[in-house]
Chains A and B, each alone.
Chain A
Amino acid sequence: MTNILLVEELERSFDDLLAVAGVSFFVESGETYGLLGPNGAGKTTMISMIAGLLEADRGSIRVAGQPMATTSTAAKRAIGLVPQDIAIYPDLTAKENLAFFGSLYGMRGAALNARIETVLEIVGLRDRADDRSDQYSGGMKRRLNIAVGLLHEPQLLILDEPTVGVDPQSRNAILESVEALSTDGMSVLYTTHYMEEAERLCDRVGIIDNGLLVAEGSRRDLVDGIGQNDTVHVSGTGDLRSATEALRSAEGVVQAAEAHGVITVMVDRAAGRLPSILATCGEAGVSVTALDVSEPNLEAVFLHLTGKALRDET
């Protein structure tokens, strides 16, 4: 297998803030690689450098064997970028948006039109193709945003949190299209802070936090790496922060972190620890409203590696 993307020692600061702190990874041809990390982890900064929009301070990027920099038009030909923020012309129709971006890659005539029909089909926008995109719903705009990235059949499709702020139905449609593309052999670099998306789509996942790649591998590798621990989610009201503190030092607890009203606790085995978890929460003045136990997953991996919860309202 050849590498479609090779990133080495990539680094970038904004003033004093080290947003990407020396990251190396590669994406194999045909593979879907996920970058999983919370808000502000540095995902978009990495993507911007990989797509040639931002100069790196240090390190190197090669796309399809070509060095990537802000001036590298050859390397840019090989990528299709789907930016985190919707980037389409509101005063043009879906077809016009696609036709314009297609022309920048040298596509034209019947081949371009046929390809436009195909991508509109993929993202399910065929029946609205001649409407101006400012008349679309948020989800439809997101789908057009993706269609533009796919249009020229890039060797590497880069999606930066393509499902943020999308209703569940559109979100599912987006995930299905990405799955279909991946099945067809397209190489994909996918960033997200949703554990479920990374688990569902990606062959391998890189976990990033504070600009660093803290672990990398297939879901199985990563989960195996944290041992046979279970994850318990405790929802409740009250002083969750001090309850989390107390849980950290409780017996059998490997890690605990709190975010958005939920405490995520990693324990050696859930079965025997639930009573003591409840008791500890109670002592800390938290009244527990819900409790669930899950198998080890990427979220647990993240908690294990960083001591922080990856959670976000879904």
Chain B
Amino acid sequence: MRQMLRIASKDLKQRVRDRSVFIVGIVAPAMLALIFTFAFGDVLDPSGSGFEATYGFVDLDGGDASVGLGEVLAGIDEDQFSIESFENVAAAEAAIDDDELSAAFVVPEGFSESIGSGTAVLEVVGNVDAPVGAGIAVAIAEGYADAVDRVTLTVAGSLAAGADPGELDEVIAAASSVEPLGSVGAITTGVRQMDGPTYLMAGMAVFFLFFTVQFGVASLLEERRVGTWGRLLSAPVTRAQAIGAKALVSFVLGIVSMSVLMIGASIGLGADWGDPLSVAVLVILGVLAATGVMALVSAIAKTVEAAGNVQAIIAVALGMLGGTFVQISQDGGLLSRLSLITPHHWFIRGLNDLGGAGAIGDIIPSIVGIGSFAAVTGGLAVWAFARKETV
């Protein structure tokens, strides 16, 4: 352990002296996130939550219960949601087809009266092009139905031109991914999503993380090139210690880069990452995942250059797939399924799930997703190093 720390601290000294790790680990992601924020500031709406939806409300009932639902809808956060009333279902559906609405709530005739009899049916018509907004609408309705009790909820997809009936499942899936609501009053706080600049900073930080950690593990190949690797191993140092030191340096660099960026974003951009323990778990796992995959490349590559190229390709591919630049639509297609293997996807999803108010229990899928990636790549790296001949 002591030998490992000695090698690691020597490496850190070299990396600090070199400075490029600061550019890659801190300056570049921070600059890019800021540039994107200014460039797309309107789209991202830095002042608000970044997420907006307009819902239609069709009241064919006019009874107490429907008025109650109308009040609930009127009471939700005005910055994010707006409500438009429609005379009939057809008008609401037309607005959905024109993408003016994310969803419409339809209260059928006789709704209030049927509540007592257990046959009340509340309908939500979702827009398949707005899965998140539609999902939230379903959640709102569910919350209402739970609160009022014995109301059956039906969900329909809009019959937009070219809409695949299968996409409806996606709307329902999106709905079920939203936390179950304890009461209707909790609706607004239950909507979890990072705001624009925060999302960008998280994306850039995790994207560049995969470049930053290379400065640790790839220096193993650099040592081999300058001949010091053999010299290290002729000293009373085991290979495991020397390789471990490199991985440790990757880990430290990754943690420092992520901490500086995320703490910087909370101070500078007012980003609220959420529960510190959960965030720390996500960051640590993310850094381990990055270290694992880059260590694997270093174990297999023959030269510094080859490793650098492969590492860059992997970092960019995982970053793009994982939605660090643009959110990959979770439409069940090939791309969305591929994105599930990336630690980036799970990292961002984890932060979204935390969304300021969540706790560690909300990020279990992310912990499993990133943890598996780290374990698989790290395990393969250890195996690749072990079967390789010395020096």
Contacts and interface: CB of A to CB of B under 8 A. Distances in A.
B14 A89 contact: yes
Contacts of A103: 6
Contact of A73 (B10, B236, B389): B236
B227 A83 contact: yes
Given A85-B227, A87-B227, A90-B226, A53 B390 contact: yes
B150 interface: no
B238 A71 contact: yes
Interface in B260-312: none
Contacts of B234: 51-53, 76, 79, 81, 83
A194 to B, nearest CB: 21
B18 A53 contact: no
B227 A104 contact: no
Given A48-B391, A70-B233, A91 B14 contact: yes
Contacts of B18: 91
Nearest to B233: A53
A105 interface: yes
Interface of B is mostly: helix
A100 B233 contact: no
Contacts of A90: 226
Question: Chain A interface: which size bin?
Answer: 20 to 34
Interface string A51-76: 11111000000000000001101101
B337 interface: no
A53 B239 CA distance: 10
Contacts of A70: 233, 239, 390
B231 A54 contact: no
A54 B389 CA distance: 8
Interface string B212-232: 000000000000001110111
B228 A89 contact: yes
B163 interface: no
B3 interface: yes
Interface in B1-35: 3, 6-7, 10, 13-14, 17-18
A88 interface: yes
A49 B127 CA distance: 71
B37 to A, nearest CB: 36
A77 interface: yes
Contacts of A48: 230, 391
A92 B226 CA distance: 13
Interface of A: 48, 51-55, 70-71, 73-74, 76-77, 79, 81, 83, 85-92, 96, 100-101, 103-105, 148
Interface of B: 3, 6-7, 10, 13-14, 17-18, 226-228, 230-239, 389-391
Given A92-B14, A96-B13, 9 more contacts: A71-B238, A77-B236, A79-B234, A88-B228, A89-B14, A89-B226, A89-B228, A91-B18, A104-B235
